[in-house]
Structure 1
Amino acid sequence: MKILITGFDPFGGEKINPAIEAVKKLPDEIDGNQIIKLEVPTIFYQSAKVVREAIEKERPDIVINVGQAGGRAAITPERIAINFQAGSTPDNSGKGPKEGKIEADGADGYFTQLPIKKMVTAMRKAGIPAEISNSAGTYVCNHLFYEVQYMRRHEFPNLKAGFIHIPFLPDQVKNGRRPSMNLSDMVAGLTVSIKAAVAD
């Protein structure tokens, strides 16, 4: 089985993004399954274009996109992607999103195909803080989550896909007033999540 797992590049003035840092640290193989790692730009529509090209090239069985959710204290697999984008923060192209639907003919929302309850249980058993999230926001994370689900619906029906948010790294929270998680725990959490996904 092939698993494509992606992480965003730094954005919003940050010098680091825990998403791609954790993805890069994953092993190349988990329980005999090939792990394909990909960095994606924090840019509306461009991120989905990069992932589409990787899907067409690699033909993965599972796609997991990983993003940063500053302020969260746990690793949070997302339940649903919504067909809406908004936000005042520019993406890495320097432009903000055009508020409104992501895909004019898309469903209002798409549920993940990943076994998120099993993934959370596996992470908690490994001692990693984890919980299900019901909102991926309206920024590039939700945008990419939705676009991959849209691709799945229209082009890749056998694909399983989903999104996982991870907290800040400790170095990003210098005053200690916001939650963070060390990189090794993020990598461990993603690893057991992948194990749960391929076993489902």
Structure 2
Amino acid sequence: MKVLVTGFDPFGGENVNPAFEATKGLRDKIDGASIVTAEVPTVFHKSAEWLNELINKENPDVIVCVGQAGGRFGITPERVAINVDDARIADNEGHNPIDEAIQPDGPAAYFSSLPIKAMVKRMKEKGIPSSISNTAGTYVCNHLMYQLLYMIENDFPEKTGGFIHVPFIPEQVLDKGNYPSMSLNDITTGLEACIEAIVEYDGKGDLKETGGTTH
């Protein structure tokens, strides 16, 4: 198995993006799976163009996109991506779409094809705070997750993929007041745990246990 893991470049005035920084520490091999990492731009549509090129170049079996979710306490595999761009802030090239469909011919939403519940369980076993997220937002992270799953449905049906959000790292919250953060090492450990679960549950679906929320 080959796993492509992507992370975004810094955005929103930050000097670092823990999503990509954490991928740098991933082992080259995790439970027999070969790991390839890459950085993608925090830019609507361009991020998907880069991802498409990476998939064609690397031909991975699994694609895991990682993004920053400042304010979250744990690592959160995303359950669903919705077909809308609604940018609270401009992307890194100044694009600010409002209520625009990502793919006009696409469905309203796509669900991750990764074993997200098994991923959360494996992270918790390693002492990493984690939970399933039911919203990837409406910024570039949701955009890329939707585009990835659109590509899988239309161009790469033999592949699986999804998205993981990670918290700020400590250096990002020094002047932000009471914001949660997680060490870069713990984020990397969490991502490796996710990949371990992906390898273990390949072809087996996901755990059948609760992972929902009441609100």
Give the TM-score band, short-chain normalised: over 0.9
Percent identical: 54
Unpaired runs of 5+ residues, structure 2, are 202-215
Q: Which residue is equivalent to 2:110?
A: 110
Aligned-partner SS, 2:185: helix
RMSD (CA atoms): 0.8
Taking the TM superposition and a 5 Å limit, the aligned residue runs for 1:92-111 are: 92-111=92-111
After superposition, the C-alpha distances for 1:73-94 in whole angstroms (9 at most, x for unaligned) are 0000000011011013110102
Cα distance in 1, alignment partners of residues 99 and 117 from structure 2? 32
Deviations 1:92-113, CA, capped at 9 Å, x for gaps: 1022124321000001001101
Letter of the 2:39 partner, please give it: E
Q: 1:65 corresponds to which residue?
A: 65
Tell me which amino acid in the other structure corresponds to 2:158. Answer: N
Q: Tell me, in whole angstroms, the C-alpha distance in 1 between the residues paired with 2:93 and 2:77.
A: 27
Residue in structure 1 matched with residue 193 of structure 2 by the alignment: 192
For 1:125, the aligned partner's letter is E
Give SS of 1:3's match.
strand
Q: What TM-score results when the alignment is normalised by the length of structure 2?
A: 0.91
In structure 2, distance between residues paired with 1:5 and 1:98: 28
TM-score by length of 1: 0.98
Q: How many residues are treated as equivalent by the alignment?
A: 200
How far apart in 2 are the matches of 1:179 and 1:27? 26
Residues 124-173 of structure 1, C-alpha deviations (whole Å, 9 max, x = no match): 01000000000000000000000000001111001100000000000000
Alignment of 1:2-81 (within 5 A): 2-81=2-81
- Alpha-carbon distance in structure 2 between the residues aligned to 1:166 and 1:88: 19
Match of residue 211 from structure 2: none
Deviation string, structure 1 residues 3-26 (Cα, Å, up to 9, x no partner):
000000001111000000001111
Unaligned runs of 5+ in 1: none
